Amino acid sequence: MQLTILTFMERKKFNSSPCSIARSLDVLGDWWNPLILRECLYGNNRFDELQEWLGISRNILTRRLKELVENGLLEKSAYQNKPARYEYHLTEKGYDACTVLLALMQFGEHWYFNEGEHPIELRDKKTGDLVQPTIVDANTGKPITSKNLIPCPGPGFKAPQAILKRRFREYYENFS
Amino acid sequence: MQLTILTFMERKKFNSSPCSIARSLDVLGDWWNPLILRECLYGNNRFDELQEWLGISRNILTRRLKELVENGLLEKSAYQNKPARYEYHLTEKGYDACTVLLALMQFGEHWYFNEGEHPIELRDKKTGDLVQPTIVDANTGKPITSKNLIPCPGPGFKAPQAILKRRFREYYENFS
DNA sequence: CCCCATAAGTTCTATTATGGAACTTATAGG
DNA sequence: CCTATAAGTTCCATAATAGAACTTATGGGG
């Protein structure tokens, strides 16, 4: 006879992780969600438009839109009643999430397209000027290379010294 | 009688998409891959270290490491023979991919942690100075808000005019 | 009034991916 | 000989996904 053992199996969630990367990945660590945000940035805000441009399965799109709305990146609003029809628009938080898209874009341009043959550009909505996203240090204004970075505990990292020293080994070895 | 119909069903791949975001998502649009890169940035480069810090299933970790190596973000090298033991280190491309982590981090800090209570900080490996990643326009040096951006076709976007006009509707309406 | 079209989802099923746990392999040390 | 360690494999049950067909509410044309 086989005893049934209760197991929990669902996609890992990081919503209580003490790491801002992990927390962001709960909603952005996915193939579809960033692309849905991209489409909203393109001005494709309706269910069928999103489905067509992305080639995503309709049931998945339903779930993802719900998720993005629940997480506050998109806002669902009716653009007509009788029959009720909806649009999904980026919220403040959603626009902020799009900076992750800019980083993805920069990486993709660099590694998957030839110089001067990138498929998309960004322009300022008002002036029409070309905009080229770069990650820099806010303090010095110089471009950041992650090779030169070292993670260290921030003010919100509450943990015993022993754990800190294990987690940020490189930092403690070099700076204390 | 039921005729079996051949269907293809696998995770969508975007490796021929004319979009740098989609291309990047092939390897970065996932919950685990960015976190594995994070761990490598933290100096946790071995299988068991990664498994322990991330709490990822060992079989999944195996597959993901293979994927990251095949995509050129990590490099597998032996740190001892007899018995053969390996480490996974970030490549140039891998370090570049980490700028996406910086964007994720910034977003997470802003929306999931209180001001001044973020769990992690970054410092310059040599000077020890605090580094604060921001996305700016390389031309003007000013911070970018994606709300003010409009996508438009780049030099590598080859398509008939009709498709361009549908895809970049907002751009063509306002700038030509 | 009937038929068709449209938008926004649901529902159904087959195929993959994932999580958890146990097992394997090679070698070193006591 | 027994045990430990590192780096995976293998196995299974459960969850997620793709693809297609179906639903619901409404408006328009004949």
**What's the rounded Cα separation, in Å, for the pair A122 and A106?**
11
Q: Does B24 share its domain with B74?
A: yes
Same domain for B138 and B121, yes or no, is: no
B108-150 pLDDT, tens per residue?
999 999 999 999 999 999 999 999 999 999 999 999 999 999 9
Length of chain A: 176
Q: Is residue A91 domain-resident?
A: yes
What integer is the mean pLDDT of A155-160? 92
CA distance B135 to chain A (A): 5
pLDDT at B15: 62
Chain B interface mutation, best of A14, A17, A21, A158, highest count of B Cβ atoms under 10 Å:
A21
Whether residue A127 sits in one domain with residue A90: yes
**pLDDT at residue B133 in the model:** 96
Q: Could you list the beta-strand ranges (E) of chain B.
A: 74-80, 85-90, 120-124, 130-131, 133-137, 149-153
Identity of the amino acid at A62: T
Contact A137 B131 (CB under 8 A): yes
Instruction: Give me the phi and psi of A64, to 5 degrees please.
Output: -70, -40
The pLDDT of residue A78: 96
Q: What region, left, alpha or beta, does residue B146 occupy, with left being phi > 0 and alpha being psi -120 to 50 degrees?
A: alpha
Q: How far is it, in rounded angstroms, from Cα B132 to Cα B148?
A: 22
Of B108, B121, B130, Cβ closest to residue A21: B108
Distance, in Å, from the CA atom of A36 to the CA atom of B146, rounded to the nearest integer, reads 15
Range of the domain at A171: 146-175
CB-CB under 8 Å, A120 with B20: yes
Together in a domain, B170 and B94:
no
A10-62 tens-digit pLDDT: 666 766 678 999 999 999 999 999 999 999 999 999 999 999 999 999 999 99
Nearest to A93 among B30, B98, B111 (CB): B111
Q: What pLDDT does residue B11 have?
A: 61
What CATH number does the domain containing A108 carry?
A: 1.10.10.10
The string of pLDDT tens digits covering residues A85-140 is 999 999 999 999 999 999 999 999 999 999 999 999 999 999 999 999 999 999 99
Residue listed under structure tokens 């997480």: A71
**Residue range B52-82, pLDDT digits in tens:** 999 999 999 999 999 999 999 999 999 999 8
Query: How many Cα atoms sit within 13 Å of B137 on the Cβ side?
Result: 16
Does residue B60 form part of some domain? yes
Return the SS3 of B85: strand
A-B interface: how many C-beta pairs under 8 angstroms? 304
Closest-CA residue of chain B to A176? B128
Q: Is the pLDDT of residue B84 over 50?
A: yes
What are the CA-CA distances from residue A61 to residues A36, A45, A71, A152, B152 (Å)? Answer: 9, 12, 15, 38, 25
Determine the Cα angle at B97 with ends A75 and A67, to 5°.
20
Question: Which of B56, B106, B148 is closest, CB to CB, to A125?
Answer: B148
H or E element that contains A152: strand A149-153
Cβ of B58 near strand D (under 7 Å)? The reply is yes
pLDDT reported for residue A85: 96
pLDDT of residue A11: 67
Q: Please check whether residue B122 lies inside any domain of the structure.
A: yes
Measuring CA to CA, how many Å separate A172 from each of B87, B123, B128, B142? 22, 12, 11, 34
Q: For residue A42, is it within any domain?
A: yes
Residues A150 and A94 in one domain: no
Taking the CA atoms of residue B45, residue B11, residue A133 and residue B168 in that order, the dihedral angle to the nearest 10 degrees is: 180
Strand partners, B77: B87
Calculate the angstrom distance between C1' of C13 and CA of A53: 25
Same domain, B41 and B67: yes
Residue of B nearest to A107 (CA): B97
